Structure 1
Amino acid sequence: MSLRTRLTLLFTAIVSILLALFCGLLYGVAEQYRLREFHARLQAEATTAGHLLLGQERISLNLYKLMDRNQLTVLPDEELIIYNAQNRLVYESGTDYLALTPETLTRIRNEGKVVWREATREIVGILFTDQQRPYIIVASAVDTYGVRTVASLAQLLGIGWCVMTGLMLIAGRFFAGRMLKPISQINQRIDTITATSLSSRLPEGSQGDELTQLARRFNRMLNRLEEAFKLQRSFVSHASHELRTPLTAITGQLEVSLLAEDEPDELRATLRSVLDDVRGLNRMTNGLLELAKASMDASAVPMGPVQLDALLTQIQAKIQQLQPDYTIHLRIDPPDTHASDWQLTGSEALLRTAFFNLLDNGGKFSPDHTVWMQLIRQGTELQVTIHNTGVPIAPDQLPTIFSPFLRGRNANGHTGHGLGLALTERIIQLHQGQIRVDSSAEAGTTFTVSLPG
């Protein structure tokens, strides 16, 4: 069942139920009004009969019967009965429609007024007192006109309910179609969007309603997907190029060695060159694997408590062990802070890789291979700054410095594949942190990493 049909049926059902309740309430009010009016007329008939037959200026019973049979306002099948205090019949209109039991007479005498119904006959019994003598007067009749009027009203309400339900069904389907038309347009546009046409966007409209918000969010998702596809294509293109270059060099050197009758020293030199290419290829492959690992879902990465000050101290010692000509200055500010203040939740192995890359790059691009690193706390965040005074990064390259395989012009003459900073950014983002870079000829280059503490 389509959404349009479900909305139409739901709308029609709700309104039909409410309309049926209203019609039922209207019928009930009309019925109660008919009963009150008819009972009031019966009570008036009984009171009038008491005054004429039992009052001080009474008339004869025969004369009253004659008047009762011939008056224009007589009720349909009307009957009037009067009993004295001893439950003896004093007067009866003669139609003999009603039979009263002693229990009923006792009840009327105790309550003063009793109203009840037998089949279609409405009955009112009252206690009438004349000169300290109590009488019971019972008036009854059939409200033919009132019942017929209320029945006609019920029939009219039923027909009206059926007609309005049909109209609501038609109107509901029409307006549901109008309301869902933008969704149909969105569905048609979505069907045209493929991997080769991610630049297409949904019409957002200007209403500002939920459908407009849905279209805007979908377009933002398409923007992210398009950007991801572009990055993927760029990544594959650069990776293929970077992998093809050393493989081509290795293949060429081996083919030349096989064709030529080189001396052992020349063969060893060729093998050393091939080994260097293989090592570079291995480093790049490891970088790609680390980058893929850092790009996975955060929930798939094991997290635990990490003592950041101790981790940075270990990385400082490791780099100076691997690169003896590097000088790493580490400052923890303030130095007497409790160890728990430098603790965060994360992956120690990934954070080690991220800060190792930053320090290694800082030492590589600094003329004297000197790097300054500082750890401070900024509110609820731990902030690490890594600074060097090497050749600055060009301003037009700062926005793409963290893209894979993209290297700045200041990297000319330095080995690398452009994966270190991309890997570092992925790791920091995986830890819900931020990384930014500021570079100028006067101040040097500074990387600032902020991590939630």
Structure 2
Amino acid sequence: MSLQNRLTLLSTAIVSILLAFFCLFLYLVAEQYRKKEFLTRLRSEALTAGHLLVGQEHLGPALYNLIDKNQLTVLPDEEIIIYNAQNRLIYESGTDFLTVTPAVLDRVRELQTTQWREGNREIVGIMFTEKAAPFVIFASAVDIYGVRSMQDLARLLSGGWFVMIGVMLIAARYFMGRILEPISRINQRIDEITASNLSLRLPEGESADELTQLAQRFNRMLNRLEEAFRLQRSFVSHASHELRTPLTAITGQLEVSLLADDEPDELRATLRSVLDDVRGLNRMANGLLALANASMDSSAVPMGPVPLDRLLEQVQLDVQRLQPTYTVHLRIESPNASPADWQLTGSEPLLRTAFFNLLDNGGKFSTDHTVTLHASVQPKSVELRVHNAGSVIPPDQLAEVFIPFQRGRNASGLPGFGIGLSLTERIVRLHKGDIRVESKEGAGTTFIVTLPR
């Protein structure tokens, strides 16, 4: 069953139940009013009979019967019965619809007034004490017209209920179709979106309802997917290009060596060149693997406490051990900070890779291979500033330094594949941090990393 039909039936069922309760409530209120009104009339008939038969204005039974038969307000099958204090019947209107027992008389004297129903006959009993001697008067009748009116009201409410349910079904189906029309448009557009045309977006509409919010969130998801596909295509394109160059060089050198009758020294030189290319390929493969790992969701990366100050000292030693020609100055500020102030929650291997890449990149681009790292504790974060005084990054390429395989014009002639900074940026984002770069002529280049404490 479609969503439109389910919503139509559900809304109709809810309205029908509420409408049924409302009709029942109206019927019960009307029935109570009919009963109350009829009992009030019976009580008035009993009081009138008491005044005229046993009260101060005594008319006599014959005259009262004559008046009672000819009055316009007489009730259907009306019967008046009067008993004296000795439970002796002193008047009866002539019909014999009601049987009164001594127990009923005692109850009326005890309660002063009472009412009950026998079949379709309504009965009222009252104590009449206009004279010294008390009398018990009973008035009973059948509310033929009231009951008939209630039956007509019941038929009217039932018929109206069925008509309204039919109208509700038609109206609910129409309006549910109008409400769900944006979903149909969304489904149609989703069917049109494929990997080859991710630029298509869902219609968002002008209102701010839940369907519009759903379309907006879906479009934002498509934006992220389109960006991921674009980066993937760019990644594959640059990776294949970077891999093709050393592989071509290795193939060419080996083919030349096989065809030529080189001396052992020349063969050793060729093998050393091939070995350098293989090592470069190995570094690139490791960089690509690290880049893929850094692209994972943060929930998939094991996190733990990381003492940042000690980690930076270890990274400094690693850089100077692997790059003996580099000079790394580590300046940890905030001397009064406690060890807990340098504590971060993150992945120590990934953070070590990110800081190593920044220091290695700074030493590579510095003319004297000197790089300086300033670390300071902020109220809610830790700030790292990696500075080198080498060639600056062109202003038009500052926004591209973190794109995989993108290298600035100042990197011409220097080793590298354009992976390190992209990997560093992803690791920082994975730790909910921020990284930016400042590069000016005469001031050098500074990478600023902020990580939450």
User: What's 1:119 paired with?
Assistant: 119
Amino acid at match of 1:36: K
User: What's 1:73 paired with?
Assistant: 73
**2:232 and 2:149 mapped to 1: Cα distance?**
81
Amino acid at match of 1:96: D
User: What's 1:188 paired with?
Assistant: 188
Equivalent pair of 2:384/2:448 in contact (CA under 8 Å): yes
**1:123 and 1:339 mapped to 2: Cα distance?**
95
Report the 3-state secondary structure (helix = DSSP H, G, I; strand = E; otherwise coil) of the residue aligned with 2:372: strand
Equivalent pair of 2:366/2:390 in contact (CA under 8 Å): yes
CA separation of 1:332 and 1:127: change in aligned 2, threshold 3 A = same
Matches for 1:266-281 after TM superposition, within 5 Å: 266-281=266-281
Structure 2: where are the runs of 5+ without partners? none
User: What's 2:35 paired with?
Assistant: 35
User: What's 1:104 paired with?
Assistant: 104
Report the 3-state secondary structure (helix = DSSP H, G, I; strand = E; otherwise coil) of the residue aligned with 1:329: strand
**2:37 and 2:340 mapped to 1: Cα distance?**
88
**2:174 and 2:99 mapped to 1: Cα distance?**
62
Cα offsets for 1:26-76 (capped at 9, x unmatched): 111211111111111111111111111112331222232233334332211
**1:244 and 1:111 mapped to 2: Cα distance?**
112
Report the 3-state secondary structure (helix = DSSP H, G, I; strand = E; otherwise coil) of the residue aligned with 1:130: coil
Equivalent pair of 2:128/2:134 in contact (CA under 8 Å): yes
Equivalent pair of 2:204/2:215 in contact (CA under 8 Å): yes
Matches for 1:48-447 after TM superposition, within 5 Å: 48-447=48-447
Give the superposition deviation at 1:80: 0.8
**2:65 and 2:330 mapped to 1: Cα distance?**
125
Give the superposition deviation at 1:91: 0.7
Give the superposition deviation at 1:408: 0.8
Equivalent pair of 2:337/2:377 in contact (CA under 8 Å): no
Q: Tell me the C-alpha RMSD between the 2 structures.
A: 1.2
Cα offsets for 1:347-395 (capped at 9, x unmatched): 1111111101100110110011111111101211011100001110111
**1:57 and 1:374 mapped to 2: Cα distance?**
118
Amino acid at match of 1:401: V
**1:32 and 1:340 mapped to 2: Cα distance?**
78
In the alignment, structure 1 residue 11 sits paired with structure 2 residue 11: yes
Amino acid at match of 2:161: W
Equivalent pair of 2:428/2:451 in contact (CA under 8 Å): yes
**2:298 and 2:223 mapped to 1: Cα distance?**
22
**1:210 and 1:57 mapped to 2: Cα distance?**
79
CA separation of 1:361 and 1:74: change in aligned 2, threshold 3 A = same
Give the superposition deviation at 1:177: 0.4
**1:124 and 1:198 mapped to 2: Cα distance?**
84
Give the superposition deviation at 1:256: 1.3
Give the superposition deviation at 1:167: 0.2
**2:187 and 2:370 mapped to 1: Cα distance?**
59
**1:221 and 1:264 mapped to 2: Cα distance?**
60
Cα offsets for 1:6-28 (capped at 9, x unmatched): 22122212222222222112111
**2:137 and 2:72 mapped to 1: Cα distance?**
21
Moved more, 143-152 or 214-223: 214-223
Amino acid at match of 1:224: R
**2:217 and 2:318 mapped to 1: Cα distance?**
47
User: What's 2:451 paired with?
Assistant: 451
Cα offsets for 1:202-261 (capped at 9, x unmatched): 112222222222212211111111110000000011111111111111111111111111
Report the 3-state secondary structure (helix = DSSP H, G, I; strand = E; otherwise coil) of the residue aligned with 2:85: coil
Moved more, 430-439 or 313-322: 313-322
Give the superposition deviation at 1:336: 3.7
Amino acid at match of 1:17: I
**1:152 and 1:99 mapped to 2: Cα distance?**
32
**1:194 and 1:57 mapped to 2: Cα distance?**
101
Report the 3-state secondary structure (helix = DSSP H, G, I; strand = E; otherwise coil) of the residue aligned with 1:133: coil
**1:195 and 1:451 mapped to 2: Cα distance?**
36
Moved more, 205-214 or 235-244: 205-214
**1:399 and 1:193 mapped to 2: Cα distance?**
30
Task: State the TM-score, normalizing by the size of structure 1.
Answer: 0.98
**2:245 and 2:225 mapped to 1: Cα distance?**
30
Report the 3-state secondary structure (helix = DSSP H, G, I; strand = E; otherwise coil) of the residue aligned with 1:280: helix
Cα offsets for 1:245-296 (capped at 9, x unmatched): 1111111111111111111111111111111111111111111111111112
**1:119 and 1:390 mapped to 2: Cα distance?**
111
**2:51 and 2:375 mapped to 1: Cα distance?**
111
**2:340 and 2:117 mapped to 1: Cα distance?**
89
Q: What's the % identity of the aligned pairs?
A: 70
Report the 3-state secondary structure (helix = DSSP H, G, I; strand = E; otherwise coil) of the residue aligned with 2:86: coil
**2:78 and 2:318 mapped to 1: Cα distance?**
117
CA separation of 1:257 and 1:28: change in aligned 2, threshold 3 A = same
Report the 3-state secondary structure (helix = DSSP H, G, I; strand = E; otherwise coil) of the residue aligned with 1:287: helix
* Residue-pair matches, total: 453
Report the 3-state secondary structure (helix = DSSP H, G, I; strand = E; otherwise coil) of the residue aligned with 2:134: strand
Cα offsets for 1:182-216 (capped at 9, x unmatched): 11001100110000010111112222222222212
Give the superposition deviation at 1:322: 2.2
Structure 1: where are the runs of 5+ without partners? none
Give the superposition deviation at 1:92: 0.9
